[in-house]
Amino acid sequence: MNNSELINESLIALNVRAKTKDEALKKVANIAFNAGRVKSAKNYLDGLMERENTSTTGFGGGIAIPHAKIDEVLKPTITVIKLKEAVEWKAMDDKPVQLLIALAIPTKQEGTLHLKLLAKLSENLMEEEFTDSLLSANTENEIYQTITSIFE
């Protein structure tokens, strides 16, 4: 797999409407399913919610990194959603979440490249310069470019 296979513009959605965290996660699951990345939107959604119930993935600054590692993932995937209005997330800083960077990870791994790239993405989420550019992006392409730039 090359660097860009984890994400493409069909996996990025802006101005998404959701009233709750569950609705936002459902949008993520549907986008990943419609892009042919997971076998079942429901299984992915269940996985995301289960992880969320263990401990919050809202790490502060209005961003969350919901993720699920399940059998039904066809291809390791990053889905990005920017909500029209932020939703309550029980985040680490108690602030509502507007940007979701969601991961779908297959249980069975073929190589570790995608895991390395996801680790790199996670590390970059601790850098304000990176999160600021994601938060201020106005187009799918800007988000795509920002994320794939760290994989180069």
Question: Could you give the 3-state DSSP secondary structure of residue 122?
Answer: helix
Listed ranges 36-44, 60-68, 77-85, 138-146: which one lies at the site for other proteins (CB under 8 A): 60-68
Site mask, other proteins, residues 83-122, x = CB under 8 A? Answer: ---------xx---------x-x---x--x--xx-xxx-x
Q: Specify which residues 105 forms β-bridges with.
A: 69
Q: Which of 67, 106, 114, 147 is catalytic?
A: 67
d(CA 142, CA 133): 9
Is 68 within 8 Å of 50 (Cβ atoms)? yes
Cβ distance 43 to 77 under 8 Å?
Answer: no
Instruction: Look up residue 100 and give its two tokens.
Output: 């979701």
Distances (CA, A) of 152 to 64, 66, 123: 23, 24, 15
Residue among 56, 77, 79, 98 that touches other proteins (CB under 8 A): 56
The count of chain residues that interact with other proteins, using the rule CB under 8 A, is 28
Q: How far is the CB of 131 from other proteins (least distance, A)?
A: 11
Q: In this complex, which beta carbon is closest to other proteins, that of residue 57 or of residue 79?
A: 57
Q: Which residues are near other proteins by CB under 8 A?
A: 51, 54-57, 59-60, 65, 67-69, 92-93, 103, 105, 109, 112, 115-116, 118-120, 122-127
